[in-house]
Amino acid sequence: SITTITNKGAIYPNPTKDYCKFSGFGKIEIINVYSTSGVLCKSISCFSEQEVNLNLSDLEKGMYSAVVQTSNGLQTVSFIVE
Protein backbone atom coordinates (compact mmCIF):
# COMPACT_ATOMS: atom_id res chain seq x y z
CA SER A 1 0.00 0.00 0.00
CA ILE A 2 1.08 3.59 -0.59
CA THR A 3 0.95 6.19 2.16
CA THR A 4 0.32 9.87 1.51
CA ILE A 5 2.81 12.10 3.34
CA THR A 6 1.89 15.64 4.37
CA ASN A 7 4.28 18.64 4.27
CA LYS A 8 7.60 16.83 4.27
CA GLY A 9 9.46 18.19 1.23
CA ALA A 10 9.89 21.39 -0.73
CA ILE A 11 10.36 22.60 -4.29
CA TYR A 12 12.31 25.75 -5.05
CA PRO A 13 12.49 28.24 -6.54
CA ASN A 14 8.75 28.59 -6.73
CA PRO A 15 7.73 30.20 -9.04
CA THR A 16 10.34 28.95 -11.50
CA LYS A 17 11.30 29.63 -15.11
CA ASP A 18 13.46 26.64 -16.02
CA TYR A 19 14.92 24.39 -13.31
CA CYS A 20 13.70 23.62 -9.82
CA LYS A 21 15.03 21.52 -6.98
CA PHE A 22 13.03 18.94 -5.05
CA SER A 23 14.47 18.26 -1.60
CA GLY A 24 13.45 17.14 1.87
CA PHE A 25 11.18 14.36 0.63
CA GLY A 26 13.47 11.47 1.58
CA LYS A 27 14.60 9.01 -1.08
CA ILE A 28 12.79 10.17 -4.22
CA GLU A 29 11.91 7.38 -6.64
CA ILE A 30 9.59 9.03 -9.19
CA ILE A 31 8.34 12.56 -9.87
CA ASN A 32 5.22 12.99 -12.02
CA VAL A 33 4.25 16.52 -13.08
CA TYR A 34 0.60 17.23 -13.92
CA SER A 35 -1.17 20.24 -15.42
CA THR A 36 -4.19 21.73 -13.66
CA SER A 37 -6.38 19.71 -16.02
CA GLY A 38 -4.76 16.47 -14.81
CA VAL A 39 -2.63 15.77 -17.89
CA LEU A 40 0.72 14.09 -17.18
CA CYS A 41 3.33 16.54 -18.54
CA LYS A 42 6.57 14.99 -17.32
CA SER A 43 7.71 11.86 -15.50
CA ILE A 44 11.18 11.16 -14.16
CA SER A 45 12.68 8.16 -12.36
CA CYS A 46 15.09 9.26 -9.66
CA PHE A 47 16.72 6.08 -8.26
CA SER A 48 16.26 6.98 -4.56
CA GLU A 49 17.96 10.37 -4.75
CA GLN A 50 17.71 12.81 -1.81
CA GLU A 51 17.62 15.89 -4.07
CA VAL A 52 16.50 16.17 -7.68
CA ASN A 53 17.03 19.08 -10.10
CA LEU A 54 14.24 18.99 -12.65
CA ASN A 55 14.28 20.84 -15.97
CA LEU A 56 10.87 22.46 -16.44
CA SER A 57 11.80 24.80 -19.31
CA ASP A 58 9.70 22.78 -21.75
CA LEU A 59 6.49 23.46 -19.80
CA GLU A 60 4.15 26.30 -20.70
CA LYS A 61 3.55 29.08 -18.17
CA GLY A 62 1.01 28.09 -15.55
CA MET A 63 0.27 26.14 -12.40
CA TYR A 64 1.36 22.50 -12.01
CA SER A 65 1.29 19.76 -9.41
CA ALA A 66 4.10 17.30 -8.81
CA VAL A 67 3.41 13.93 -7.24
CA VAL A 68 6.63 12.81 -5.56
CA GLN A 69 6.90 9.08 -4.86
CA THR A 70 9.41 8.10 -2.18
CA SER A 71 10.20 4.90 -0.33
CA ASN A 72 7.83 6.23 2.41
CA GLY A 73 4.84 7.19 0.25
CA LEU A 74 3.48 9.99 -1.94
CA GLN A 75 3.51 13.75 -1.54
CA THR A 76 1.90 16.34 -3.82
CA VAL A 77 3.34 19.84 -4.18
CA SER A 78 2.14 22.68 -6.39
CA PHE A 79 4.34 25.11 -8.28
CA ILE A 80 4.18 27.86 -10.89
CA VAL A 81 6.13 28.11 -14.14
CA GLU A 82 6.59 31.73 -15.28
pLDDT in tens, 1-23: 566 666 578 899 999 999 999 99
Q: Could you tell me which residues are beta bridge partners of residue 49? A: 28
Beta bridge partners of 48: none
SS3 73: strand
The predicted structure's pLDDT at residue 30: 96
Integer Cα distance of 45 and 47 in angstroms: 6
Q: What is the mean pLDDT of the chain?
A: 91
What pLDDT does residue 3 have?
A: 61
Region 47-68: mean pLDDT is 94
pLDDT attached to residue 5 = 61
Q: What is the DSSP letter of 56?
A: -
Which of 14, 9, 56, 62 has the alpha carbon at shortest distance from 35?
A: 62
The pLDDT of residue 71 is 83
**Region 54-79 average pLDDT:** 93
Identity of the residue numbered 70: T
